[in-house]
Amino acid sequence: MTTNTVTEQLTAAGRAIEHDSFAIIDAEAGPHAYTAEQWPLVRRMIHANADFEFNGLTVFHPEAMRAGFLAVLQGGAAIVVDVEMICVGLSQPRLQHFGLSTHHYISDADVIEAARAEDTTRAVQAMRKAHRLGKLDGAIVGIGNAPTALIELVRLIREEGVRPALVIGMPVGFVSAAESKDLLMTVSEVPWIAIRGRKGGSTLVVAALHALLSLAEAEQKKLAA
């Protein structure tokens, strides 16, 4: 097996554990309807939470994986997220390898002030700020915590012509979480990856992004061969 030197575990022992875990998931998951490009991402999400329900709950826009590959391989793309937890969870060496930068605005003073003034959530105002700063077009947008961020992003796509390269929409929770993902899955303007129902979370967005980086590195090696 070819080792991805940037996007895999740094030691042989770490790689062995990760590869063994993936092999167990492959064996226990059984048949699935995902493509050869999609399954590594779903498998890494299962690995992150030891929850096999993501085999079936995870839904892909037909162009999602290709769009994600291109955004990563072209380099310099922004990754805009709803909460800092996603940024903290992402491997900096992996991001630096592709020249990717992370951005979140939910704790900015002007975002908090606008949320109070307009009686909205900070997540809504953070997406609006990202749009004002020109960070959303061509970006990979990852939402794992705030359904209102995802709802606002869909509005920006449909009403203001925002065009992210890819939306990874996986907010977790009981209020509007499932509904926000259902809404995302009606979007035809941009590619997306989503999870049906209430499940989700920042760890799954991190897992999905790391899967994209790993697949992109493998593709990068093929192109260089």
Q: Which residues are catalytic?
A: 47
Copy the structure tokens of residue 189.
């303007």
Secondary structure (3-state) at 143: strand
Q: From the CA atom positions of the chain, what is the Rg in Å? A: 17
Enumerate the H helices of the chain as residue ranges.
Answer: 12-29, 39-49, 54-57, 64-74, 84-89, 92-97, 109-118, 122-132, 147-160, 177-184, 202-224
Q: Which tokens belong to 57?
A: 């709950």
